[in-house]
Structure 1
């Protein structure tokens, strides 16, 4: 019976879609039950709109549009559902919403410009959201809340694109964002109230890009990584609040006037790592109200600035600068005891370097400054 129902659904939708080859075509369908499959194909259908509603389990939806100004909407309620939307053209808008238990998978692929893609997945066991966009002025967003395991993968190629992943209240969350070959791009990951979370954001071959990762009120074992390659005036920011055994890293390669910031608040046994090469770059690591924290900044180039601030106890700060006309500043305050002291190791190579180290509070603190 399920097989017959699925075949009937496909046949009916193909019949409807057959009339969607002209302008101003619309496909609307509703399915209740399980094991349904919907396939919608619209070719050269300007101002086309597809809306699919499925309620039940083990349902699937596949939409393909080759058109301008198209709209796609897929809503699935139940478990073990999957949806795929493909659009070629401009001014497209595609959204997929999945609510229920079991495994949910959603994929959106858009090739054009001024595209908007959004995926929402809530209250499921395992969820996967994938968005791929090419062009410029695109917007991609994935929201995953209240799931057991959530994974989001967003990829954009072009300029002036926006990508965001928001994951809240999940047991395990993983977000991966890639923005390639453009400038004026903005990528952000927000992870709040998860048991553990991982985020990776990469921007390549561009300038004036913005990258940010925020991990708040998570339990432990959180990782955040930002990498920006071969650009100028890029901004990277990682913020982590709460939890232990967290790690945050920023890499900015081959650019100038770039800025990297890592802020860790009320964390324990956690680390901040920043790597930069180029000119006129700045790096800032701020670790507040924690213990057993490690900050590691390495810069190569000229006219560089590095700042590390640590408050709490039993912390370590390491700074390495090679090049010319660089400055480094470290400020540590908090408890330091023999055998568990606050430690600073600052090394600068070449000429016209400036180093400033301040340690207050406790005893047994150590600072080593080397200029050569």
Structure 2
């Protein structure tokens, strides 16, 4: 691929443009807000000047509601050899394009499964998609050359191609992205008017659950408006689970021993279902559950602490499988949780203690 046109210079469009430009592709940038395109160009994502003639691939990175109209305009003027969009829903835009009577052999819907809580070109990075799934939804009509262009884009962004049916994709993202975002927002909403003394007790658990609730509501209205049915179906199932859980909790308040037992059984049931679902979330080594141990170390909020602890772990010959930081509220300290193979945990613990680190039991 030598030339590309990116329409929409938000987080996703600019990140794709940065990746392409860094690998030698001449990228032309366009946006309904020219200032945003100029910002992306200043970051090194390409040029905000219009291409002379057609390009090889046009990447449409606009909200789902505007995908079909944007693609129709590009196709009408022959802007590119191939056309893709990167919207988070796939079935709706394609049906809109079909209704317009367009020749869709040169089009393929795609969706990079990556993002951040921040939006706009200033949040973009060339490595946003590295190692992340990038869904492609070709049909029998899709031109092979266009599919190859889309696959080349995914490779240049160092993502992992996943081929799916468009409607199956929409049901899948409703489950793993859209519905969880709404649930996260609902949990975070409980904090809005909570007493300050309660909020000050927030720990890592509530931070984990509410992290994605910080995203731009306007962007999520666009996303959810394009995929309301599957999300509503899933929330109805969650609502049913919530009703059963509330009844179980009420039973635990009863003075009747049998009712309390039923309540405890109900709570255990939902918690065990959660265990069974959580272990299916793919991790570093795929979807099979892997047993690890966590070594928690007290660290100060000072430059060089993380580099030092990683260096000490490396010197001990221990590979860190995962890492997270649990911050202490209102203090310049916290705990870094180092996830390692079970056999490596005592080795790492002893090595870090020898080097003066405080290990949390």
TM-score normalized with structure 2 length: 0.23
The structure carrying a bigger strand percent of its residues is 1
The structure carrying a bigger helix percent of its residues is 2
